[in-house]
Structure 1
């Protein structure tokens, strides 16, 4: 997979799939994951798109520079990647931290994007949310990402899915626990400053919010409020799904993508 060197010297791991000349879609991952989290969507998306995936700084095979990584920095990374690949305009699919990155892009770079799918990510950081990140930082500082792997699995994937899919569950766990602790913490520090809710009324790109019905991190009531704050936005709730419905319930997630993106 090609690495792209950014203006600050950081190299990000990327992957491109799909036919040359097709319209672009950019996929953006959650905290504690790498670009393989989208494997279940690639067959669908490449039927229409040229697909750019990337590992956030501090994640996967990307570099791990000193933190914290602000959301402004994560947003800027995307624009530099798009410029590198000659992408003037793209659709967007982001989940969790990738959805938060997408909100920043919709607010500050609306001319670069068409339709946006923002899944399982909140738009603000109330005190309880900030305290959760402080706790997570303390745990990872002490025990690495291995120390949060099981708890993260419990948030991401429903118990019945984990029981029915032990090999896939083990692969997801390995992805979480292999994330560099310094990169993980640097992103947590940036997410504590999340403050996009007040700006959602200015968004003018078409947005679909997707939420796992059993998501505890970005629950349905929070995402419904975000939908109400975003002009013209749509909302789809995935039944029996946790925080990562594209893995937990891929058929329902892909159906929502297909309808909104006209795939």
Structure 2
């Protein structure tokens, strides 16, 4: 079992390695925070002390090709349902029957919808942040993920992808004002492999990626839900408002009198727990 700073590896049934970290305090309820595309789970580290101070244990894991998690031989075989099964194996390995909460951002948030609807009552509180609802093909939009994979493959590395991603997430002004945090994230993102990036992009491109049919099932699967989005995160504030309405309807259909809120993080972008840290912390800790 991992210490506060060390990660461990789990060998999955297909032979892949899954990197995870279970952090203190030893007796607290567990909150899962997966990584998101391009960055290993250490990206969450600034937020974890706030959870530990409230007696929560935190469980992080890396999706394929991020950190020390390895990729399958077939880079097209990874889907959100298959990663949800990886999570189930991890929880069984650790003897964790239920999670107090799942806090996911972007790909980690989309994954949460697949997990909770495949494994009802294993997650108490769902917090989904800054996430798409479906693959480009299912949304009828240009395949941005295919273009990013091609650019990275043509370049032979993710260096340019990391820089463009940081700029897209935070903007030039924030990057200039926060050189230390930018450098920390850049170093973390540099550990992601090209195969890992492509594998996870393939999951995001897959026809199986469409959480819209799952929104109304969330209410029957968890106790409460909260949605969070950065104000400057493209069209996600609008699409997540629709998501909120659908999830809320699902709670009503499940006979649960729970209000589902969408919290807008002012002046924040896609990784809203970093450039909107104080607002994000206030909303999420109050919900927890």
Structure 2 gap segments, 5+ residues each: 1-6, 249-258
Q: What's the Cα RMSD here?
A: 1.5
Paired residue for 1:165? 178
Deviations 1:74-116 (A, max 9, x none): 1111111111111111010111110011111122112211001
Question: 2:39 aligns to what SS in structure 1?
Answer: coil
User: Do structure 1's residue 220 and structure 2's residue 259 form an aligned pair?
Assistant: no
Aligned residue for 2:46, secondary structure, equals: helix
* 2-structure distance, mates of 1:34, 1:3: 14
8 A Cα contact 1:124 1:196, kept in partner? yes
Residue 213 of structure 2: aligned partner: 198
- 2:150 equivalent among 138, 143, 148: 138
Provide the secondary structure at the position in 2 that maps to 1:105. Answer: helix
Give a deviation string over 1:201-243, Cα, whole Å, max 9, x none: 1111221111011112x62001111111102422101011110
Deviations 1:109-154 (A, max 9, x none): 1221100111111112244655111111211221221121121012
User: Is the counterpart of residue 121 in structure 1 residue 136 in structure 2?
Assistant: no
Q: State the distance in 2 between where 1:163 and 1:14 align.
A: 32
User: 1:33 and 1:64, CA in 2 relative to 1: closer, same or farther beyond 3 A?
Assistant: same
Q: TM-score, normalised by structure 1?
A: 0.94
How many pairs are equivalent? 260
Q: Which has the higher contact order (CA 8 A, sep 6+)?
A: 1
1:169-202 alpha-carbon deviations (Å, 9 max, x no partner): 1221222233100111011011112211122111
**Normalised TM-score (structure 2):** 0.86
Structure label with greater radius of gyration: 2
8 Å CA contact retained: 2:134, 2:204: no
- Is residue 64 of structure 1 aligned with residue 87 of structure 2? no
The answer to whether the Cα contact below 8 Å between 1:107 and 1:200 also exists between their aligned partners in 2 is: no
Q: Distance between the aligned counterparts of 1:43 and 1:76, measured in 2?
A: 28
* Corresponding residue SS for 1:157: helix
Question: Which of 107, 111, 120 is equivalent to 1:97?
Answer: 107
2:187 counterpart residue number: 174
Rounded Cα–Cα distance in structure 1 between residues aligned with 2:87 and 2:142: 25
Compare 156-165 and 95-104 and name the one that shifted more.
Answer: 156-165
Equivalent residue for 1:87?
Answer: 96
Structure-1 separation of matches of 2:83 and 2:142: 19
Counterpart among 153, 156, 179 of residue 166 in structure 2? 153
> Is 1:207 aligned to residue 219 of structure 2?
no
Q: Do the aligned partners of residues 158 and 25 (structure 1) sit closer, same or farther apart at CA in structure 2, a change above 3 Å counting?
A: same
| 2:59 is the counterpart of 1:52 | yes
Return the alpha-carbon distance in structure 2 between the equivalents of residues 227 and 154 of structure 1.
28
CA distance in 2, matches of 1:229, 1:215: 20
User: Is 1:109 matched up with 2:119?
Assistant: yes
Residue 40 of structure 1 corresponds to which residue in structure 2?
46
2:287 aligned residue: 260
> Could you tell me how far apart the structure 2 residues matched to 1:199 and 1:62 are?
27
- For the 8 Å contact 1:65–1:183, the answer to whether it is kept is no
Whole-Å separation in 2 of the counterparts to 1:255 and 1:151 = 29
